[in-house]
Amino acid sequence: MEGLCLYSYVSNKNLYLKKCKEMLLLRFGEKHPTFYVHSFGCQGNIAEGEKIQGILSELGFSKAFDVNFADIVILNTCAIREKAECRVFTHLDNLINLKKVCTNKIIGICGCMVQQEHIKQRIEERFPAVDLLFGPHVIYKLPELLYFALCNKKGIYSNISNKESVQEGLPTLRGSHIKALVPIIYGCNNFCSYCIVPYVKGRERSRSFSAIVDEVKKLVENGYKDITLLGQNVNSYGKDLNVKDGFAKLLYELNKIDGNFRIRFMTSHPKDFSKSLIDVIASCNKVCRHFHLPVQSGCDRILKAMNRKYTVNEYLNILSFPPASAEWV
């Protein structure tokens, strides 16, 4: 069960990592430059922020705990909630003022907001001092974009392209030594009528089975105890790889990994929730016996208007099978 990986950060990393490090040396001398990454929104964004931190660490940056003292500040944005968008612009106003005093400060904006053309244009027009703009699907390009910024050009790349779908081998600097977020599928195909995700994150792209199993094995070897598998629609994992019950099979395989740890996942879509998935959850002792299954509405007319693709009865049916495992749901 292999996913599409058209770009490997590992095999291509020497291209711009080296050039970028040389430019950083010119700008900062022997002093270690520092980064501050602020991720807004969902766990998926937090996981992507950890990859940005990993790349910056690999470039020689160390983490700053105060935005005022960071040499590079990256706002990893969310487009789902208007409040999060407003907060980004407030942060940006403050950062631009800071940059007037600390002229060497590099400012980057990434994440879902940047994927909307009107927001990207607004940032470019209102905040020309922003150095980096890039979407969530091209995090691996950060060394290249940063290199351009260090050469006093703009590092801008925000178009969704399904050719650049799954990135493997990116370094990760996690926020915890116990809990780990592991994305298994990116994007969404569902087009719920109220949601922007398919437009900013693209269509569903599953990571390869082997890449996920290897990552979880390494995490467990390194002492992680709590693994959360992530996806906008986590239980449609594997469909784009033409694998039936791919998510149930993945849980089953992960459960076989030796070690004392537990597995969670979020978020599930009712239309993809199957009896075989419930059976696997019930039979796998490392898989936590709880799941998030958004109802959204108790009215079929509203569910249809939301384009949720299930009815109230279909939702209730999920909760009723199988009787043996229903007691723990």
Span of 7-15, 58-66, 140-148, 184-192 interacting with ligand SF4 by CB under 6 A? 184-192
Single out the residue of 46, 96, 198, 208 in contact with ligand SF4 (rule: CB under 6 A): 198
In terms of CB distance, is 21 or 271 closer to ligand SF4? 271
Sign of the CA dihedral running 308, 314, 319, 321: negative
Token pair 């996920």 is found at 212
Single out the residue of 8, 57, 190, 317 in contact with ligand SF4 (rule: CB under 6 A): 190
* Minimal distance, residue 294 CB to ligand SF4, in Å: 8
Q: Do you find a cis peptide bond into 322, omega within 30 degrees of 0?
A: yes
Query: Is position 60 an interface residue for ligand SF4 (rule: CB under 6 A)?
Result: no
Span of 66-74, 119-127, 193-201, 282-290 interacting with ligand SF4 by CB under 6 A? 193-201
Token pair 């990893």 is found at 76
Single out the residue of 34, 232, 235, 268 in contact with ligand SF4 (rule: CB under 6 A): 232
Cα–Cα distance for residue pair 82/69, rounded to 1 Å: 28
Q: How far apart are the first and last CA of the chain?
A: 30
Cα–Cα distance for residue pair 278/322, rounded to 1 Å: 8
- Secondary structure class of 300 (helix, strand, coil): helix
* Minimal distance, residue 188 CB to ligand SF4, in Å: 3
Query: Is position 233 an interface residue for ligand SF4 (rule: CB under 6 A)?
Result: yes
Query: Is position 188 an interface residue for ligand SF4 (rule: CB under 6 A)?
Result: yes
Cα–Cα distance for residue pair 124/261, rounded to 1 Å: 45
Query: Is position 42 an interface residue for ligand SF4 (rule: CB under 6 A)?
Result: no
Span of 111-119, 195-203, 242-250, 277-285 interacting with ligand SF4 by CB under 6 A? 195-203
* Minimal distance, residue 232 CB to ligand SF4, in Å: 4
Single out the residue of 14, 175, 191, 328 in contact with ligand SF4 (rule: CB under 6 A): 191
Residues in touch with ligand SF4 (CB under 6 A): 188, 190-192, 195, 197-198, 232-233, 269
